[in-house]
Amino acid sequence: MPDLSKRATEEELMDDLTLASQALRQNLDELETINTWLGGYRVVLNGLQRLRSRFPKGRALHLADLGSGGGDTLRHMASWARRQAVPVQLVGIDANAFMIDYATEKAAGYPEISFAQQDIFSAEFRGQQFDIITCSLFCHHFSSEALGRLLRQLKEQARVGVIINDLHRQTLAYYSIKWLTRLFGGSYLVQNDAPLSVARSFTRQDWQQILAAAGIERYTLRWCWAFRWQVIF
């Protein structure tokens, strides 16, 4: 049994930025299915609704999704914006060229979505401003120290707010996803990375400490089904 009393530091297979294969394409499809089953998109959409009163008037909402992967969260946000009659310009930021190509292909019916291959710690990216920045299942890829620095940076880049959707490090969550990915014959990537993602993720205390280290005092931190945290600041 893994030690879930602290965040795991082992890197996921998907952290390899050169990864580009049919297995990765299958993995991205699997992640979208898992998020659909477990209601993962609701965490971000609820966050948008909570910030709705602060959206800019008279122009499109400019939103960046960091670590956008297959672009599935962006597609759900675009559909939400269409239902709400909210004009948006959505950009997915990812460091993996294969994922950018995959996501662009999947978002063909969404002209309001674009993608950019960028390093979020680069001067080029740090110089950009957005209304909202979202991080969906992205933050657990960083050490607590690096994440604190990133959140401090994002606070300066987001005019309206930052929405984080990430996993709860908990025993039932770990074994549930481990069994589910094996039961349904998932790719080697999802069978390795899905439970590891939970082991690398957060408790409430982790979030409180990371946000304090980032100098962020005003925020909301909510637990959501299934085994997710919603952070808004």
Tens-place pLDDT, residues 36-88: 988 899 999 999 999 999 999 999 999 999 999 999 999 999 999 999 999 99
In this prediction, residue 74 carries a pLDDT of: 99
Kindly report the pTM of this predicted structure.
Answer: 0.96
| Contact between 55 and 82 (Cβ < 8 Å) | no
Question: What does the mean pLDDT of the chain come to?
Answer: 97
pLDDT of residue 22: 87
pLDDT digits (tens, 9 = 90+) for 2-32: 899 999 999 999 899 888 888 889 989 999 9
pLDDT at 214 over 90: yes
Instruction: Note whether 69 and 99 are within 8 A (CB).
Output: yes
What CA dihedral angle connects 148, 152, 155 and 157, to 10 degrees? Answer: -120
**Could you give all domains of the chain from N- to C-terminal order, each with its CATH number?**
13-232 (3.40.50.150)
Mean pLDDT of 115-119: 98
For residue 184, what pLDDT band results from cuts at 50, 70 and 90? confident
Phi-psi region of 58 (alpha: psi -120 to 50; beta: other; left: phi over 0): left
| Position 90 pLDDT exceeds 90 | yes
pLDDT of residue 233 exceeding 90: yes
Residues in contact with 169: Cβ distance below 8 Å, sequence separation at least 6, in sequence order: 4, 7, 198, 199, 200, 201, 202, 203, 206
Instruction: Kindly indicate the confidence band of residue 176, based on its pLDDT and cuts at 50, 70 and 90.
Output: very high
Confidence of residue 1 (pLDDT cuts 50, 70, 90): confident
